[in-house]
Amino acid sequence: MTSPLAPTTLGTDEARERLSELTVIDVRTPGEYASGHLPGALNIPLDHIRRALPEIRHAAGRGDVLVVCASGARSENACKLLAEQGIPTATLAGGTTGWAAQGHDLHQPAVCDTRAHWSMERQVRFTAGAVVLLGLLLGLLVHPAFQLLSAGIAGGLVFSAVTDTCGMAAMLGKLPHNRPRAADLDATLAALRGR
């Protein structure tokens, strides 16, 4: 194995200027990707990065690779993993949220599926809030011990903030609407090989 490389960070303006020469990999869930992504970005969810290593290595040999997510945390993790494999990459400062905040366009594919796609952060907030309310309600109506459910979620949120990880997001990422279909991932990997 080669020695680890230090991932770099590109600002949104620099990334926009260089967009045509970059291979952009979006590591968010398919639902988040469908809600809006950088023009030309390919969707390879973070938990599928290892499967895509040969294709990403091939793309990096032909030009610079930019890894993006919603805010930059997941793309930073992906860049570290790729650096450990000797693949040079950069992450986008502020992610797609920062990109959109700077007034740059996000591409939204025209698909027949008109369901709204929620960001992972929104899914986590909804799930955590619903479980807290459920724990409080069951604690009042059934048995006070159900309030421990709410306390558990509160503890999980504190742990998540302190460690900058999110176990709930990892679990929600395994739901069918957050998983790429095998055919979609295969098509993405083929497109990446062709770059």
Per-position DSSP letters for 93-162, written without gaps between them: TTHHHHHHHTT---B----S-------HHHHHHHHHHHHHHHHHHHHHHT-GGGHHHHHHHHHHHHHHHH
Strands (E), the chain: 8-10, 23-26, 42-43, 65-68, 90-92
Based on the residue annotation, tell me whether 79 is a catalytic residue of this protein.
no
CA 38 to chain centre: 13
Catalytic residue among 69, 79, 112, 166: 69
For 15, phi and psi rounded to 5 degrees? Answer: -60, -40
Per-position DSSP letters for 2-15, written without gaps between them: PPPPPPEEE-HHHH
Distance CA 90, CA 171 (A): 27
Which residues belong to the active site? 69
